[in-house]
Structure 1
């Protein structure tokens, strides 16, 4: 019997339809049955793997539909012995206050004492157990009723769901079964087969698998999905392209990302215009469509000509919110003469999304738009230095600093930062439609969490904002910064970097910004998953972590770490 390798993952969901993604062990027809509604799709193949996206239509808004999954007529989901509740499709209801979970950076190691000692408790898994109302999968007779009122409508994964460069022992064992780890790229990923295994390890824990089957998800990549510091600079890119293995890595990384993450982000209209999906939709043969060559060719082009494909996307939630998820990795222009975070095509698209007429404009970007002010100016200085602000010797030093110190966030791409900041201020001041209650950036990456708020320096000149401009960061979900580094990072980023950053930025003639921003809360370093809830024109956000009590590593308790209320002006 054909089995499920991965999934079902509940991806795009609106008021009347839902899409479920699966990977199967062989070619076949996948059918989803949801309380009288049914839909099916043939699998498509990529490098010997088999996938399907099944879209169910005609649903009623605001309902929860229990569902099953069949492959070639045999039920494969839910598992017969599952201790978790039935998987459901929860359709949206625009009249209900939006709840959005978000976070980034999650490694895939075991959930026993050894795994938790290595990388801490998986906050996503603790969240799953709380949602399921099962505190101990081995003892379902001891249920926790959970708190369904706080269930999110969807979860936004802000990058580094998989680590292609920092692999676990289990992943390394798989790599070594195929090739020598003493040859490039050593214990890092080499090809599509290894990416497929990496995703399998990330998404097969039973609790997390249940969560992803019943909580709609949207995703965007960050650097570790491909490699640390991906697209930091032109020098970095040339160094990678000179290796014997980079071409295979980037091709496999982008091709697998399209299959495992990006496809499910697309709305029905976006899928209809997507070049790869058109090939899937048009396939009328009896056999399985093999997309291997098509996807590899597409990935090569997307890497060399990033303006040819847009990974960013937007979702509308009625009058409550617009979620704009921005690609801050692949769309970079690295030419020193016109270096910027977003190419012209991407920037034009973002310009159309950055408008008001909703209660909240939510901008998801894997990299924090607003770092600590001091660190922001240090990164801006490093870019100016690498661009020749202190001459040729300074340029060489600047390149070493930004690669060695991971100085490659929005602040280190000042052109793009300034343009997006100007858009944000125009939205906040009501110059792009009615001003929302907040313009809120949601980010991850930095392995600590915080909330900050920006204010214009010259409101008389630039306008008085109606919206509050907020940066909320949740990182990591499961990959904590070593404790010995936490104090150092806090001191450097939020103490020493302050005066140093402003001084060196002025010396390199970094343009002054029209805003200042202050820390509202943080930093904290726990493994976390954050949740945002719309409350009229304000927001309530909270961060939760998993806590092991009495040695029960398999059933951590979800505990709130911090909360922040952002009230309207």
Structure 2
């Protein structure tokens, strides 16, 4: 008899006493979570014929590790009695326990066999999951996914087969996703393999989108957006992308208090007596409004751990694409970020899918391109600048100089102790660029300002693009890029930075740990041994400690 459980259980927001458990089910039902002798339940809500529930578990003991099971209409659906994996557990936060966060971005969903590993590399997340399951790797306090968990525009053979089963793949948008039904299938492909599904059932997760969750270069410029809006299929895509993101990713990011204040969750709760609790029309209207009026809703969020503040930034919807006010963060979002950037803790972590501190050469090139695309060298050069921006993905923080300069000033104030006692580090966590590295701002006093990038989890660059990335980012690109930026009257960055470690191009999962001697970050990849493609071994690629005291970083 097939299981009524499609996806999950996924452990989402967890604090000292509560946990959120998310599921997708085959049909309308009552979902219950059981811990010890207690149980909590939630009825599903529906979106475009799909059914979801979020069970809110509360009253747990701080620092407790509690096995749990999930029932649907009284039938146990998790754990599978035939599973080889350990019991799924809820681990609540413990006072005084230091932060340990795994993070990364950019993960395609192809089979974990020889063919899939040859074309996309070994899945580092699966390698990490197997190591945790076997006791060779500690279970982290959180998994932080920094974008491109699904690829709506660059689909796999399995996804294309599903598309062909329901529409003509030769009609727009072709092999790309069209609607909510296709997004739902894409998430199923991403989160259903056994090892990762087990990991997501017992490690809390936090997420934020990047461009491929919707489409490459999403909101790169006003010209890009107008081009998309002129197509016959874009409106349905953006509505489906944001609606499915709210269901599959964002809902679980919220704390119980934040969820209670969320307008869409209030709609779910208001329909408690409606048998179907169908959210389709309301959620589609909400997603449409979020796209047309980005200031009407906030996708960013903040969490405080023991001694650590984590700020997760939306760097896609919240953009202001008006040429005269162009910003990666609109005014409302920048104000919110400004309010949350305070000292008084050991570490301030800013999670943004796009690296804030690109390699300096690439930073200058992107800043120059923005200037000429905005008309610094005239109309003809502006046309060229726009094509370069789209063709080479020149749309990171550096390509939004207003926002870069503002955020750099805010980070410096935190690091200098102007916003409360200075932390040990202000650390930006990012993905997107398909290579990993650690960079640090050159400072003599105050907190360290650091950029850590982990990308991809499973989607490596072709070798010729790796060479191109290095050329664009390092060596002669730095002085040449700086000269080009100066010629377009781009202001200098408020500080200089350098790459401390990297780049490397493996599929990676990074682990950040707050230790007494500083902030340690370790990148791990998966390695196939003895031809066992489905059970890769986790191997360390690089490790670096940003010391609590101001001296050189220690790497290995």
CA-atom RMSD in angstroms:
1.0
Q: Partner of 1:158 in structure 2?
A: 146
Q: Partner of 1:141 in structure 2?
A: none
Looking at structure 2, the residues matched to 248 and 495 of structure 1 have their Cα atoms a distance apart, in angstroms, of 44
Matched, 1:274 2:262: yes
Deviating beyond 3 angstroms after TM superposition, the runs of 4 or more aligned structure 1 residues are: none
The one-character-per-residue Cα deviations of 1:198-242 (angstroms, maximum 9, x if unpaired) are: 000000000000000001000000000000000000000000000
* Maintained 8 Å contact 2:405/2:494: no
Looking at structure 1, the residues matched to 264 and 394 of structure 2 have their Cα atoms a distance apart, in angstroms, of 35
Q: Partner of 1:235 in structure 2?
A: 223
Instruction: State the Cα distance separating 1:491 from its structure 2 match.
Output: 2.2
2:304 is aligned, of 292, 296, 316, to: 316
Looking at structure 2, the residues matched to 465 and 429 of structure 1 have their Cα atoms a distance apart, in angstroms, of 8
Looking at structure 1, the residues matched to 186 and 158 of structure 2 have their Cα atoms a distance apart, in angstroms, of 9
Q: Partner of 1:142 in structure 2?
A: none
Instruction: State the Cα distance separating 1:403 from its structure 2 match.
Output: 1.0
1:175 is aligned, of 158, 163, 180, to: 163
Looking at structure 2, the residues matched to 219 and 420 of structure 1 have their Cα atoms a distance apart, in angstroms, of 21
Looking at structure 2, the residues matched to 191 and 129 of structure 1 have their Cα atoms a distance apart, in angstroms, of 33
User: Per the alignment, in what secondary structure is the counterpart of residue 33 of structure 1?
Assistant: strand
Q: Partner of 1:283 in structure 2?
A: 271
Q: Partner of 1:121 in structure 2?
A: 122
The one-character-per-residue Cα deviations of 1:268-324 (angstroms, maximum 9, x if unpaired) are: 111111000011122231512000000000000000000000000000013x10000
Looking at structure 1, the residues matched to 191 and 469 of structure 2 have their Cα atoms a distance apart, in angstroms, of 31
* Maintained 8 Å contact 1:359/1:537: no
Shifted more, 520-529 versus 394-403: the winner is: 394-403
Q: What is the 5 A alignment of 1:129-528?
A: 129-133=130-134, 145-147=135-137, 150-285=138-273, 287-318=275-306, 320-456=307-443, 465-528=445-508
Instruction: State the Cα distance separating 1:59 from its structure 2 match.
Output: 0.4
- Tell me the TM-score normalised to structure 2 length: 0.97
* Maintained 8 Å contact 1:425/1:465: no
| Number of residues of Structure 1 aligned to a counterpart in Structure 2 | 548
Q: Partner of 2:105 in structure 1?
A: 104
* Maintained 8 Å contact 1:123/1:545: yes
Looking at structure 2, the residues matched to 440 and 415 of structure 1 have their Cα atoms a distance apart, in angstroms, of 20
1:536 is aligned, of 502, 506, 516, to: 516
Looking at structure 1, the residues matched to 397 and 230 of structure 2 have their Cα atoms a distance apart, in angstroms, of 26
Looking at structure 2, the residues matched to 533 and 178 of structure 1 have their Cα atoms a distance apart, in angstroms, of 46
The one-character-per-residue Cα deviations of 1:532-556 (angstroms, maximum 9, x if unpaired) are: 0001372011000000011110110
Instruction: State the Cα distance separating 1:184 from its structure 2 match.
Output: 0.2
Looking at structure 2, the residues matched to 337 and 286 of structure 1 have their Cα atoms a distance apart, in angstroms, of 47
Looking at structure 1, the residues matched to 119 and 493 of structure 2 have their Cα atoms a distance apart, in angstroms, of 41
The one-character-per-residue Cα deviations of 1:438-469 (angstroms, maximum 9, x if unpaired) are: 0000000000000000125xxxxxxx642100
* Maintained 8 Å contact 1:33/1:69: yes
User: Per the alignment, in what secondary structure is the counterpart of residue 451 of structure 2?
Assistant: strand
Looking at structure 1, the residues matched to 216 and 465 of structure 2 have their Cα atoms a distance apart, in angstroms, of 19
Specify every segment of 5 or more residues in structure 1 that has no aligned partner in the other structure, as ranges: 134-144, 457-463
- Tell me the TM-score normalised to structure 1 length: 0.95
